[in-house]
Amino acid sequence: MLTYLAKRLLMTVPTLLGAAVLIFFMLRVVPGDVVEVKLRGDGASITQAVIDAERSRLGLDKPLPEQFASWIVGLGKLDPGLSMWTGKPVVDEMKIRLPLSIQVAVMGALIATLLAVPMGTLSALYRDSPVDYLLRIFSLVGLAVPAFWFGMVIILLLLWLFNWLPPVVYTPFFVDPVANLSQLIWPALVVGIRYAAVVARMVRSSVIEVMKEDYIRTARAKGLAEKVIIVRHAMKNAMLPAITVIGLEFAFLMGGLVVTEQVFNLNGIGQLFVQAVAHRDFVLVQNIVMFIAAVFVFTNLAVDLLYAAFDPRIRYR
Amino acid sequence: MTLDATTIGMPARSRPRPGPWRKFVRFAATQPLGAAGLVTVLVMAIAGALAPYIAPYDPVAISFGDMLAPPSWEHPLGTDNFGRDILSRILYGARTAIIMGLVSALIGSTLGAIIGVASAYFGGVIDLMIQRVVDIFLSLPIIVLALVVVAMLGRNLVLGFDFNLILAISIPIVPNVARVVRSSALSIREMAYIDSARVAGYSTRRIIFRHMAPNLMAPYLIMLTAFIAQAILLEASLSFLGLGVTEPSPAWGLMLAGNAVDFYRQAPWMIIFPGVAISLAVFSFNLLGDSLRDWLDPKSRLR
Amino acid sequence: MKKSIWVAVGVLALSFLGGQGAIAQDAKPVRGGVLNYGVAGGPHTLDCHGGSSFAVLHHLGPHYSTLLKTNNKNYPNVIGDLAESWTVSNDHLTYTFKLHDNVKFHDGTTLTSEDVRASFERIMNPPAGVISSWRSMYGDVKSVEAPDKDTVVFRLSAPNSGMLSIFGSPWACIYSAARLKEDPRYPEKTVMGTGPFQLVEYVSGSHWTGKRFDGYFRSGLPYLDGFKAIALSSTALINALAGGQIDAEFRGIAPADQQRIQASRGASIRFEEAEGMGLFMVSFNTKVKPYDDIRVRRALTLAVDRWGGIQPMSRISTLKYVSSFQRPGAPDALPQAQLEKLPGFGRDIKAARAEAKRLLAEAGVPNLKFTLINRGPDMPYAPFALYLIDQWRQIGVTVDQQVVDTANWAQRRTSGNFSVVVDVTGDWGEDPSFVMARFLSSDSSFNNPTGFSDPKIEELFKAQKLEFDPVKRKQSVNALENYIVGQVFTMPVFRTVRLLPIATKVKNYPVVPVHNWLGDVSEIWLSP
């Protein structure tokens, strides 16, 4: 087990390094740079001398490999650098926004799990019945409705029907739980419903698979009550693939947050990313992407380890 | 066609093949939902293809006199804040969505499948290297990757469609398909008839194209439909963020972008119809994909 | 449908009148309350000297004082902020300012002329690592001295009729000389000035709060206990205004937004407007054929029906005025009769289009085709370009639009990677000496992307700069404007309206055209 863990951990290094190289050089090909946006974006009359001075100050005139090296070295020292847009440390900019995104993600995952597990199980147990069809259509709709449209509609309905808007400023949960939840429940719902759709389908097929297994037949032959069979034997084993999907989709959630935070105007990592790309704030974009990539890679790793822990065959590959 | 003990090993061409109409009828009978999905998709595709002929108005024609008109006989779905007919824009938008979705998914899936098969077939160091690169791309969420690629590439119109956007959407699809196809290909590679083909001296190309590929069609098709849906959604999201299709091209996501939201009270139809269109398209493709999977997957037929 | 537009107009008119009524009552200012307003962007720097976007000043404005400031009751004149009085020598080369005494910084130290001197020195000769965006505006200033603790003297190397306005720049925040000596970059990290409010908290991307500075040198001010500036995207801004979570926005909204907010908030909000500072124009790359031919450029500006298009444009976008380079209400603006003689500004669009077609044929490109580089996805770039394309179509010119994001647009514009590009100005003030400076020949200008060079422009510009008699100066500026509009290297089309949503309880905020400057927050009060 330990060698498996070590091997997998080692493999994350070239992946992450590759992602770093990829994002760094992709960004440098993007036309436009942060200085022009900052200083001329609003139509102000700024001289070329000022533009050049700022470019030099940000180190944008240094050769690319040098810029890359200083970034990577900085990462090694746990110093991702300064945002090119505000000049503040990337760590500070991200620290402010991370709690919100994580909270929405966790709430979304909770909603998803609470919805999807019962839905998927019911769907599997009453396969091909009207209940099954209904739930399958529900999850397909959940997958099909674009998140940004769903969010837009929610806000507009709230405004129209109740003349009420979620709070615009983020308050941490422990400071004011009511304000916090009344702001974040809506994006969590939007994110969670899509998440639920994916997980429900997985749960359904996983439970179906498990119910076909021999040991379930044996349990039935032994005369165990159906409920006991389902809860004690089937669910336990069906949950493993479901958990892996929950875990993997959590990482995918990061992508969904990009659009959802835009619609709900949340000061989270997703919105920071979109703004940073618009601003051509290379340093910030690189670091956010690396962060997301790291989350992905380590979540995948955790899920694989979980699998390996439960399924010994995998370890000896 | 089914992969069972009697058909494995036979070269693809000599198996008896039912005609396409028979296949469709059988499909519709066993998978009614999937058939519904397929029909919806076809209707949308045809509507989109025929848009220049059936759209009542020019989708980019501004008409200040007719702004924000509610649905009526002249404008079945109303007009937007520029007086542009929404029905016409939805029809042309279908064209954009389906073509961009189809082409991106096709390019992405095919490239991904090729990479996956090559990786599985050659194995060893090549497989390891390819897998590392695939992992790197997989470590980035689809929209993050697409966003950066869009920013990188700018716009490049080919036959009226932004080819760079198509590329940007297809790039995240490649690693996803590659990974799945690789695992399918790996399991096929282990099968006896591939070994015997190799021993018999068949060339690599022949083995891949005539023996492995036909058996990979099932996962490929399933992934393709799933990714067409994903691509349509991705294009809508990018256009919504202002980074995909740009004015004045009609695109569903674009119709919801910008200050369309401001008109929600005066003209809710501006917001309702494009959203419904996107949802319907994605829903239908997903339905189709799901049913295809149920139909093509031999395991699920052993009921 | 048309009926509901009239109803909306009626509601607007009533609300406007209602707002006027409230101001006329002129109740006595009440101390207390916190003003919540929205800003469509975060500050990209905490150092005024390095800023260039409204988002910077909308946050920093309440914390700093400047030497002179815009007189919002007598726009566009300047009034003293830190300066109590000033004199200008007869040769216009020496400006002497007498400062208020008893001005305190937020950290308790007293302001002296040395602080003013050091701040201006920093703007004009920035030390290494400091970005001074507006340095070139002070090109005529030879030196700044602080002969005694209440006096600051500026010596110019050449007369500049716009110099007094330039001293009123909201970007020239006054910093503490002592702190600057310790660290010339301190303003990038700390907000510490002499303004009416002190910084309490700044959470990047979320909000910025300030509280009353009790040592503010104008006794009795500010009335407000504090303010909170909330960062919101443009859509969220309108939602927040409609939902009552913010009470004002100081850059400006669109008429469609106004209707939406009005519908939700009814009588608790009013809308005030002034001509805005956003001029939307089209720039040609005169180094690329056939835009090097003035006939082609003339044709393209003649084709656009400005007077006919402004009506519908003003309903769907923030563009409300037909305008040349000067704001129509500016002191030195072209008289209407002169304006209508300029190419593109005539009233007879049929004749203009016929002339345009003739010019194109003469220049050899009767069926011109090109790609217009536009910026997106913000408003009002989209409707602006769509209108232009429609107008050009009517003289047989086929235009395809390429929308790129701001960074891409800025780069293409600067590097000349365009034939025809949508261009915009967003000046902080009105004086021709800096508003018109961008239209100087490409090699000497601040921001002229067209590659056009003509010494006559420099000549006319210099003439107006040296002219101090208001009547003569106006004639001089008119001559300059006539000439550059005629050369059509950049063609002005429409100007924005500064339409501000302000809750009725927010009193004493006169609206002026400039949106970069936040305004005088010390004089705002909230009715209970």
Give the pLDDT of residue B303.
35
CB hemisphere CA count around B183 (13 angstroms): 6
| Distance of alpha carbon A74 from alpha carbon A70, whole angstroms | 6
**Closest approach of A75 to chain C, Cα-based (Å):** 22
Q: How many residues in chain A?
A: 317
Q: Looking at chain A, which residue has its C-alpha nearest residue B230?
A: A144
| Distance of alpha carbon A27 from alpha carbon A44, whole angstroms | 26
Chain B positions touching C377 (Cβ under 8 A) are: 242, 246, 257-258
Which residue among B141, B241, B274 places its CB closest to the CB of A255? B141
> Picking from A76-80, B5-9, C169-173, which range would have the lowest pLDDT averaged per residue?
B5-9
> Picking from C53-67, C252-266, C332-346, C485-499, which range would have the lowest pLDDT averaged per residue?
C252-266
Residue A233's pLDDT band, with cuts at 50, 70 and 90, is: low
Q: What is the DSSP letter of C176?
A: P
Average pLDDT over every residue of A292-307: 82
Give the pLDDT of residue C70.
92
Q: Looking at chain A, which residue has its C-alpha nearest residue B276?
A: A145
| Distance of alpha carbon C160 from alpha carbon C172, whole angstroms | 18
Contact A18 B279 (CB under 8 A): no
Any A CB within 8 A of C405 CB? yes
Please, which residues have CB within 8 angstroms of residue B172's CB and are 6 or more apart in sequence?
B108, B137, B140, B142, B145, B146, B234
**Closest approach of C411 to chain A, Cα-based (Å):** 5
Give the pLDDT of residue A312.
60
Chain A positions touching B273 (Cβ under 8 A) are: none
**Does pLDDT of C19 surpass 60?**
no
Average pLDDT over every residue of C81-108: 94
Of all residues in chain C, the percent with pLDDT exceeding 90 is 71
End-to-end CA distance of chain B: 17
Contact C382 B64 (CB under 8 A): no
Contact C1 B247 (CB under 8 A): no
HEC profile of chain A: CHHHHHHHHHHHHHHHHHHHHHHHHHHHHCCCCHHHHHHHCCCCCCCHHHHHHHHHHCCCCCCHHHHHHHHHHHHHCCCCCECCCCCCEHHHHHHHHHHHHHHHHHHHHHHHHHHHHHHHHHHHHCCCCHHHHHHHHHHHHHHHCCHHHHHHHHHHHHHHHHCCCCCCCCCCCCCCHHHHHHHHHHHHHHHHHHHHHHHHHHHHHHHHHHHHCHHHHHHHHHCCCHHHHHHHHHHHHHHHHHHHHHHHHHHHHHHHHHHHHHHHCCCCHHHHHHHHHHHCCHHHHHHHHHHHHHHHHHHHHHHHHHHHHHCHHHHCC
How many C-beta neighbours within 10 Å does residue C379 have? 21
Average pLDDT over every residue of A177-196: 91
How many C-beta neighbours within 10 Å does residue C506 have? 20
Q: Looking at chain B, which residue has its C-alpha nearest residue C373?
A: B155
Report pTM: 0.85
> Does C210 or A117 have the greater pLDDT score?
C210
Q: Of all residues in chain C, what percent are helix, strand and coil, respectively (each to 5)? A: 35, 25, 40
SS3 call for C433 = helix
**Does pLDDT of B209 surpass 80?**
no
Residue C146's pLDDT band, with cuts at 50, 70 and 90, is: very high
Average pLDDT over every residue of C24-49: 87
Read off the pLDDT of residues C412-470 as tens digits, 9 standing for 90 and up.
898 889 999 999 998 898 899 888 988 888 877 778 889 899 999 999 999 999 999 99
> Picking from A108-112, B146-150, C432-436, which range would have the lowest pLDDT averaged per residue?
B146-150
Give the pLDDT of residue A156.
83
Residue A257's pLDDT band, with cuts at 50, 70 and 90, is: confident
Residue C20's pLDDT band, with cuts at 50, 70 and 90, is: very low
Average pLDDT over every residue of C247-252: 94
Chain C positions touching A33 (Cβ under 8 A) are: 407, 411
Residue B105's pLDDT band, with cuts at 50, 70 and 90, is: very high
C273: exposed, middle or buried (Cβ count in 10 Å: 0-12, 13-18, 19+): middle
CATH 1.10.540.10 fits B31-61+77-302, yes or no: no
State the average pLDDT for chain A: 84
SS3 call for C2 = helix
**Does pLDDT of C372 surpass 90?**
yes
Q: Between chain A and chain B, how many beta carbons pairs sit less than 8 Å apart?
A: 129
Read off the pLDDT of residues A119-141 as tens digits, 9 standing for 90 and up.
888 888 887 788 888 888 888 88
Give the pLDDT of residue A313.
58
Residue B192's pLDDT band, with cuts at 50, 70 and 90, is: low
Give the pLDDT of residue B249.
79
Average pLDDT over every residue of A223-233: 70
Q: List the domain boundaries for chain C.
A: 34-195+505-526, 276-497
Contact B271 A144 (CB under 8 A): no
State the average pLDDT for chain C: 90
| Distance of alpha carbon A179 from alpha carbon B138, whole angstroms | 37
Site of tokens 């490049």? B156
Contact C48, C59 (CB under 8 A): no
C153 beta partners: C96, C145
Contact B143 A255 (CB under 8 A): yes
Chain B positions touching C11 (Cβ under 8 A) are: none
> Picking from B246-260, C152-166, C333-347, which range would have the lowest pLDDT averaged per residue?
B246-260
Read off the pLDDT of residues C262-296 as tens digits, 9 standing for 90 and up.
888 889 999 999 999 999 999 999 999 899 999 99
**Does pLDDT of B37 surpass 60?**
yes
Contact B139 A27 (CB under 8 A): no
SS3 call for C343 = coil
> Does A33 or B259 have the greater pLDDT score?
A33
Q: Looking at chain B, which residue has its C-alpha nearest residue A261?
A: B241
> Does C189 or A40 have the greater pLDDT score?
C189
Give the pLDDT of residue A202.
80
HEC profile of chain B: CCCCCCCCCCCHHHCCCCCHHHHHHHHHHHCHHHHHHHHHHHHHHHHHHCHHHHCCCCCCCCCHHHCCCCCCCCCCCCECCCCCEHHHHHHHHHHHHHHHHHHHHHHHHHHHHHHHHHHHHHCHHHHHHHHHHHHHHHCCCHHHHHHHHHHHHCCCEECCEEHHHHHHHHHHHHHHHHHHHHHHHHHHHCCHHHHHHHHCCCCHHHHHHHHHHHHHHHHHHHHHHHHHHHHHHHHHHHHHCCCCCCCCCCCHHHHCCHHHHHHCCCCCHHHHHHHHHHHHHHHHHHHHHHHHHHHHCHHHHCC
Residue A314's pLDDT band, with cuts at 50, 70 and 90, is: low
> How far from A156 is each of A161, A162, A193, C264, C316, CA to CA, in Å?
8, 10, 19, 12, 20
> Picking from A95-104, B215-224, C182-191, C278-287, which range would have the lowest pLDDT averaged per residue?
B215-224
A220 beta partners: none
Give the pLDDT of residue C242.
87
Planar angle of CA C395, C398, C401, nearest 5 degrees: 130
Contact A38 C53 (CB under 8 A): yes
Give the pLDDT of residue A292.
87
Its sign, for the CA torsion C53, C55, C60, C64, is positive
> Does C356 or B239 have the greater pLDDT score?
C356
Q: How many residues in chain C?
A: 528
Of all residues in chain B, the percent with pLDDT exceeding 90 is 12
| Distance of alpha carbon A40 from alpha carbon B126, whole angstroms | 48
Residue A316's pLDDT band, with cuts at 50, 70 and 90, is: low
Q: List the domain boundaries for chain B.
A: 31-61+77-302
CB hemisphere CA count around C450 (13 angstroms): 27
Of all residues in chain B, the percent with pLDDT exceeding 70 is 90
Give the pLDDT of residue B67.
77
Which residue among B70, B81, B242 places its CB closest to the CB of C377? B242
Q: Is C448 left (phi over 0), alpha (psi -120 to 50) or beta?
A: beta
> C34-195+505-526: what fold?
Dipeptide-binding Protein; domain 1 (3.90.76)
Give the pLDDT of residue A230.
67
Read off the pLDDT of residues B263-276 as tens digits, 9 standing for 90 and up.
777 788 888 999 99
Give the pLDDT of residue C108.
93
Give the pLDDT of residue C18.
45
Q: Looking at chain B, which residue has its C-alpha nearest residue A127?
A: B303
Average pLDDT over every residue of C190-203: 95
Read off the pLDDT of residues C306-327 as tens digits, 9 standing for 90 and up.
999 998 888 888 999 999 999 9
**Does pLDDT of B301 surpass 60?**
no
Contact C345, C459 (CB under 8 A): no
Give the pLDDT of residue B1.
45
**Does pLDDT of C23 surpass 60?**
no
**Does pLDDT of A212 surpass 60?**
yes
Give the pLDDT of residue C17.
47
Any B CB within 8 A of A146 CB? yes
> Does C242 or A236 have the greater pLDDT score?
C242
> Does B251 or B214 have the greater pLDDT score?
B251
| Distance of alpha carbon A108 from alpha carbon A112, whole angstroms | 6
C231 beta partners: C39
| Distance of alpha carbon A28 from alpha carbon B31, whole angstroms | 49
CATH 3.40.50.1970 fits C276-497, yes or no: no
**Does pLDDT of B9 surpass 90?**
no
Give the pLDDT of residue B298.
56
Please, which residues have CB within 8 angstroms of residue B220's CB and are 6 or more apart in sequence?
B109, B113, B177, B181
> Picking from B275-279, C35-39, C262-266, C487-491, which range would have the lowest pLDDT averaged per residue?
C262-266
SS3 call for C456 = helix
Give the pLDDT of residue B11.
56
Please, which residues have CB within 8 angstroms of residue B257's CB and are 6 or more apart in sequence?
B239, B240, B241, B242, C377
Any A CB within 8 A of B132 CB? yes
Chain C positions touching B81 (Cβ under 8 A) are: 256, 316
Give the pLDDT of residue C315.
83
Please, which residues have CB within 8 angstroms of residue A254's CB and are 6 or more apart in sequence?
A101, A105, A269, A270, A292, A295, A296, B141, B144
**Does pLDDT of B7 surpass 50?**
no
**Does pLDDT of A153 surpass 80?**
yes
Site of tokens 């949508």? C422
Give the pLDDT of residue C504.
94
Give the pLDDT of residue C21.
42
Give the pLDDT of residue B302.
37
Which residue from C64, C63, C103 is spatially nearest to C83, judged by alpha carbons?
A: C103
Residue C231's pLDDT band, with cuts at 50, 70 and 90, is: very high
SS3 call for C39 = strand
Any A CB within 8 A of C236 CB? yes
Residue C5's pLDDT band, with cuts at 50, 70 and 90, is: low
Average pLDDT over every residue of B65-81: 83
Instruction: Please report, to the nearest 10 degrees, the dihedral formed by the alpha carbons of residues C402, C405, C410, C414 taken in order.
Output: -30
> Picking from A59-68, A236-245, C361-370, which range would have the lowest pLDDT averaged per residue?
A236-245
Instruction: Give kind and range of the element (H or E) at residue C499.
Output: strand C490-503
**Does pLDDT of B211 surpass 80?**
no
C129: exposed, middle or buried (Cβ count in 10 Å: 0-12, 13-18, 19+): exposed
Chain A positions touching C240 (Cβ under 8 A) are: 165, 168
Average pLDDT over every residue of C235-246: 88
**Does pLDDT of B165 surpass 50?**
yes
Which residue among C257, C401, C405 places its CB closest to the CB of B262? C257
| Distance of alpha carbon C226 from alpha carbon C208, whole angstroms | 11
